[in-house]
């Protein structure tokens, strides 16, 4: 065993027993992390820092293969405001330290203007996306429609996932899944080991059935389809099942074909799977920081391969604009993208993961972190302030990004 692998093994051995003793797993009939990924929700800070870049060592995953062509990310002029001695340098250092940021990369006009790593992470590593994966899965739905595998956004999901016939998902359309407006009752409280999101990964699924489909069959309705927005990871997981059923292929394989290889990703990715080998569309895609930035740049440029978009005309415009209100704080939800009133949009994951896209400025910001909480207003506000500072620094410079 190499020194690196030996060190990793010792590190995992140190934190894994504590993870398995967490509330979400200790009460589960299966105390194996590979069968109870909800343990991740209860990890302490040290476990997150150790585990997020090595989740593929703890959970079963499929490989998303990259190709031979790599999209270059040229070095642009460093953002002067954040360079040593710049007026925002101290702000950046404080932000990285206080928000437990492991990686921050700014692409402007396709060039790297800022790239920082911490917490033992580096350009050679990968970090768990959590719900950033949702926006990638959404894009695969668009690709499946363009390829003729899915008829329409207004097709009922039971046409593709027949095991949901006669359940609360009867009458729900593909569009309503994408916008999380199914009307099905759901609790996504990450701190509650009895919430649906925790139970989804602890309750034993029906033998041979996709874990998400099995759990979805037990859910009840609280509103008519299309009437109410509620954030539900299970619905993106069901979107993943939809794509797999329609294309008759694993998500990892379809992602490799449609995006990873043609868009020039630099490294293989890894995607978490359930007990029958189905990728989880709403979570757990492990990607390097630079490839997260490449995802953002690919979307910014219209999801095009050799000048032709992999999604239907108008798809991205609809996917990245408000389709549902998310509450009084402003912004909204598109097709698995968080939308902002200023025209920017985000892929967001718990514990501080993000791909921020600003079309007006030709700006992409990729960020990984190990927040102490899954979601939190102070953390969100700090991240928002950093994004605003980056945008202001680019505006103050003017001109091209290179």
**pLDDT at residue 328 above 80?**
no
- Residue-wise pLDDT tens digits, 369-400: 999 999 999 999 999 999 999 999 999 987 54
Tokens representing residue 267 in the block: 């490294």
Confidence of residue 239 (pLDDT cuts 50, 70, 90): very high
Q: Is residue 94 part of a domain?
A: no
Q: Which of 84-98, 187-201, 356-370 has the lowest mean pLDDT?
A: 187-201
Q: Is residue 91 part of a domain?
A: no
Contact call for residues 235 and 262 (beta carbons, < 8 A): no
DSSP-assigned beta bridge partners for residue 221 = 184
Query: Cα(295)–Cα(346) distance, rounded to whole angstroms?
Result: 12
Q: Is residue 217 part of a domain?
A: yes
Contact call for residues 225 and 182 (beta carbons, < 8 A): yes
Q: Which helix (H) or strand (E) holds 194?
A: none
Residue 25, Cα to own-chain centre: how many angstroms? 23
**pLDDT at residue 286 above 80?**
yes
- Residue-wise pLDDT tens digits, 155-189: 999 999 999 999 999 999 999 999 999 999 999 99
- Of the candidates 352, 361, 201, 336, the one whose C-alpha atom is nearest the C-alpha of residue 282 is 336
User: What is the mean pLDDT of the segment spanning 288-309?
Assistant: 97
Using the structure block, give the residue that is written with the tokens 């074909």.
Answer: 257
**pLDDT > 70: what percent of the chain?**
89
pLDDT score, position 39:
81
Residue 75, Cα to own-chain centre: how many angstroms? 26
Q: Is residue 159 part of a domain?
A: yes
Q: Is residue 297 part of a domain?
A: yes
Q: Is residue 125 part of a domain?
A: yes
Rg, Å, the chain Cα set: 20
CATH code, 106: 3.40.710.10
**pLDDT > 90: what percent of the chain?**
83
Domain membership of residue 227 as a residue range = 3-72+101-397
**pLDDT at residue 402 above 90?**
no
Q: Is residue 81 part of a domain?
A: no
User: What is the mean pLDDT of the segment spanning 112-133?
Assistant: 97
Confidence of residue 327 (pLDDT cuts 50, 70, 90): confident
- Of the candidates 94, 181, 114, 129, the one whose C-alpha atom is nearest the C-alpha of residue 382 is 94
Query: Cα(41)–Cα(350) distance, rounded to whole angstroms?
Result: 9
Query: Cα(274)–Cα(284) distance, rounded to whole angstroms?
Result: 11
- Residue-wise pLDDT tens digits, 192-211: 888 999 898 888 899 999 99
pLDDT score, position 191:
85
- Residue-wise pLDDT tens digits, 39-73: 888 899 999 999 999 999 999 999 999 999 999 99
pLDDT score, position 245:
97
Confidence of residue 18 (pLDDT cuts 50, 70, 90): very low
Overall domain count for the chain: 1
């Amino acid at each position: 065993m190499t020194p690196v692998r030996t060190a990793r093994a010792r590190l995992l051995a140190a934190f894994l027993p504590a993870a398995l003793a967490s509330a979400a797993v200790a009460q589960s009939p299966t105390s194996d992390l590979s069968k109870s990924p909800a343990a991740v929700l209860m990890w302490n800070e040290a476990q997150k820092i150790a585990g997020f870049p090595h989740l593929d060592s703890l959970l079963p995953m499929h490989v998303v293969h990259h190709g031979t062509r790599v999209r270059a990310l040229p070095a642009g002029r460093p953002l002067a405001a954040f360079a040593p001695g710049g007026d925002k340098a101290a702000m950046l250092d404080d932000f990285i330290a206080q928000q437990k940021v492991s990686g921050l990369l700014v692409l402007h006009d396709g060039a790297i203007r800022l790239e920082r790593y911490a917490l033992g992470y580096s350009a050679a590593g990968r970090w768990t996306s959590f719900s950033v994966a949702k926006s990638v899965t959404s894009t695969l739905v668009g690709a499946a429609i363009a390829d003729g595998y899915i008829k329409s956004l207004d097709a009922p999901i039971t046409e593709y996932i027949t095991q949901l016939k006669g359940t609360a998902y009867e009458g729900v359309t593909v569009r309503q899944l994408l916008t999380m407006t199914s009307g099905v009752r759901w609790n996504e409280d990450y701190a509650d080991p009895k919430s649906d999101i925790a139970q989804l990964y602890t309750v034993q699924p029906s033998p041979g059935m996709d874990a998400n489909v099995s759990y979805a069959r037990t859910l009840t309705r609280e509103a008519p389809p299309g009437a109410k927005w509620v954030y539900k990871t299970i619905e993106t997981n069901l979107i993943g099942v939809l794509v797999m059923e329609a294309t008759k292929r694993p998500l990892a394989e379809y992602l490799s074909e449609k995006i990873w290889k043609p868009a020039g990703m630099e490294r293989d990715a890894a995607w978490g799977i359930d007990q029958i080998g189905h990728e989880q569309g709403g979570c757990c895609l492990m990607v390097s920081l630079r490839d997260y930035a490449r995802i953002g740049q690919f979307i910014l440029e219209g999801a095009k391969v050799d000048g032709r978009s992999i999604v239907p005309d108008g798809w991205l415009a609809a996917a990245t604009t408000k389709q549902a209100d998310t509450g009084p704080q402003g912004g909204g939800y598109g097709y698995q993208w968080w939308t902002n009133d200023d025209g920017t949009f985000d892929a967001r994951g718990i514990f501080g993961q993000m791909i921020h896209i600003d079309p007006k400025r030709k700006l992409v910001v990729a960020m990984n972190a190990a927040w102490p909480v899954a979601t939190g207003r102070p953390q969100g506000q700090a991240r928002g302030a950093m994004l605003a500072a980056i945008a202001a620094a680019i505006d103050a410079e003017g001109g091209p990004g290179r």
